[in-house]
Amino acid sequence: MTLEAPQSFIVREECEKAASQNGFRRVLGEEAGWRAFTSTTAHGTIYLAAEGSQGPWFLATDHAGVVAELDWPAADMSGPGTRRYTFNAQSELYSALDRVYDLAISLPDAPLREFERRVVGLPRTTEAERLVVQRIGQDIFRDRLMKYWEGRCPLTGISDPALLRASHIIPWAECKSDAARLSVYNGLLLSALWDAAFDKALVTFDDQGRPEFSPLLSDEARGELRWTNSLPLTNCHRENLRLHRQKLQQ
Predicted local confidence at residue 182, as pLDDT: 97
64's CB contacts (< 8 A; 6+ apart) are: 82
β 164-168/83-87 pair status: unpaired
Angle at 38 between CA 181 and CA 69, to 5 degrees: 50
Predicted local confidence at residue 76, as pLDDT: 92
Task: Please state the domain extents for the chain.
Answer: 9-104, 110-245
Compute mean pLDDT per 10 residues along the chain, 250 residues long, and list them.
92 98 97 97 95 95 96 94 97 98 94 96 95 97 98 98 98 95 97 97 98 96 96 96 92
β 34-38/187-191 pair status: unpaired
Predicted local confidence at residue 83, as pLDDT: 97
pLDDT, one tens digit per residue, over 185-225 is: 999 999 999 999 999 999 999 999 999 999 999 999 999 99
End-to-end CA distance of the chain: 59
Whether 24 and 97 have beta carbons less than 8 Å apart is answered as yes
For 2, other C-beta atoms within 10 Å of its C-beta total 7
Bridge partners of 211, per DSSP, are: 205
